[in-house]
Amino acid sequence: MEENQSFDVLIIGSGAAGLSLALRLPDAVHCAIVAKRELTEGNTLYAQGGISAVLDSCDSVESHVEDTLQAGAGLCREDVVRKVVEHGPGNIHWLTGEGVAFTQTPATGDSNFHLTREGGHSYRRVVHAADATGRAVETSLVEKIHKRRNTRFFEYCVAIDLIRQREGEGKQRFKRCLGAYLLNLKTNKVFSVSAKCVVLATGGASKVYLYTSNPDVATGDGIAIAWRAGCRVANMEFIQFHPTCLYHPQAKSFLLSEALRGEGAWLCLPNGERFMHRYHARAELAPRDVVARAIDSEMKRLGADCVYLDISHQPVEFVLAHFPTIQQRCLELGFDLSREAVPVVPAAHYTCGGIKVNAHGETDISGLYAIGETAYTGLHGANRMASNSLLECLVYSELAAQHIFSSLPNIPAPDTPAVWDESRVTDSDEEVVVAHNWDELRRFMWDYVGIVRSNKRLARAKRRVDMLRHEIEEYYTNFRVSNDLLELRNLVEVADLIIQSAQRRRESRGLHYNIDFPDTDENQLEPTVLIPDNYAPRRAHKSPVLV
């Protein structure tokens, strides 16, 4: 058993949100960063398109705000949208100072960024590093954080649950978060890390679906951990499906950036006919929910396995210059993006809801913060506009870092937590149970809680998730924890939250489309907030609950 280690700030997650927060804390703050795999692995690494920010004189904050509100279909918090948009340019310049080499316009030197346009945007406002922006951001931040002497890294470690301080004997309410129990995947040992403040920056939950653009680590860990600890979650019914993932048996999780459509790529049927003009005035540049549903509809209408994305009408040199990473991967799989249409299908991509937080990224539990995709801030509403996700990571890492640093002097050092007790469990005798339940969960979520839903499909999903949840909890109680078991436990929790939220929203809006309620109901303009049984707020909240 590894001994407990204590820090000022424990950051669970090593993507853009977690690393940015760590870098923004002064050297005097002792930090720990937990990564499920190596430090670089996560959604940020695979982000292709870029980061939206008002960086052109033709653009404006008002336009970016309006586009975001329109994409969010009435459920964005306008004050949050405005704050995030206003902080955008400063965060882009902060990234360049941290060594991120964004693509520049050839004629104007290093001072001007090359900007592209993506779905939902009225102007070119997406700064990028060719077609591998996430990789440029992640690797630059990792390089910087390795130079910090105040930071300890726990790679190949998985968070199990939070450690909380009870307010009183026999009471459900907890005063604050004191740290977390972690499983070391290399030694299979559980140990504790205590901290004055804990930050959940664990990314989204798209691995709850059978087909996803996300890497294997995106299992909703932060959302599930916070829910079990007593935090509210919001808007979990709004799961964004990226319209264009490459359709190929070996192309696991490989998406074709929306920037392709921003630079003129067309969506076509197998016979070469374009179809997006029948669904939206912006055609291929419509918001992602519209494009994903349009593709899903055409595939079902024709009984087709996929549709096609075609940018071959652009000059070859243009395609190679703008999309070198995508072109290389396509060539490896037998497609030439510059000369032919390539097959695409929608796949689960982004979790628009998450842990409910305030203006500083604080959750309902004192000392616990959530930032990035794992959090619900009110920015995205019912649908995330392209390239607003990394922007949110950066802005809320800045806001949370400021609040944490100002709070630390008033927080006492946490007590040493109880040792993890394995005295009543044994090694698993049937790992096939975990594998079977994992497969069943992801299949019924895809079939029943996917791009298009119905009351009957949601009811079927709820019955199945309740059954799986019972089996998994029994398994968790009796056997030693493993990475697969912990991820499955978190996924079934998140699946249940998605289903419950979808059942409560009795309309179609943004990413949530229910054929039994095909119209938008203007009486349902509040977020869907779920409250756990052990919820006990540390302060008064004004957020309404949709019932």
Comparing CA positions, the residue from 253, 254, 450, 226 lying closest to residue 356 is: 226
Burial class (CB in 10 A: 0-12, 13-18, 19+), 439: exposed
Q: Are 98 and 23 in contact (CB under 8 A)?
A: yes
Backbone angles phi, psi at 118, to 5 degrees: -130, 175
For 94-140, give the DSSP string. Answer: HHHHTT----B-TTTGGGSB-EE--TT-SS--EE-STT-HHHHHHHH
Q: Which string of b and e fits 181-215 if b means at least 16 CB within 10 Å?
A: bbbebeeeebbbbbbbbbbbbbbbbbbbbbbbbbb
321 contacts: CB under 8 Å, gap ≥ 6? none
Neighbours of 314 (CB within 10 A): 17
**Which tokens sit at 284?**
């291929």
User: How many residues make up the chain in this entry?
Assistant: 547
DSSP 3-state of 9: strand
DSSP 3-state of 71: helix
Q: Cα(508)–Cα(381) distance, rounded to whole angstroms?
A: 13
The DSSP bridge pattern shows strands 233-234 and 239-246 to be unpaired
Burial class (CB in 10 A: 0-12, 13-18, 19+), 28: exposed
**Which tokens sit at 130?**
């060719």
Q: Are 443 and 464 in contact (CB under 8 A)?
A: no
Q: Which string of b and e fits 398-424 if b means at least 16 CB within 10 Å?
A: bbbbebbbeebeeeeebeebeebeeee
Q: What are the distances in angstroms from CA 150 to CA 356, 447, 450, 532?
A: 29, 47, 43, 36
Q: Which of 288, 384, 453, 464 is catalytic?
A: 288
Query: 173 an active-site residue?
Result: no
Q: Are 351 and 202 in contact (CB under 8 A)?
A: no
- Give me the active site residues, please: 288
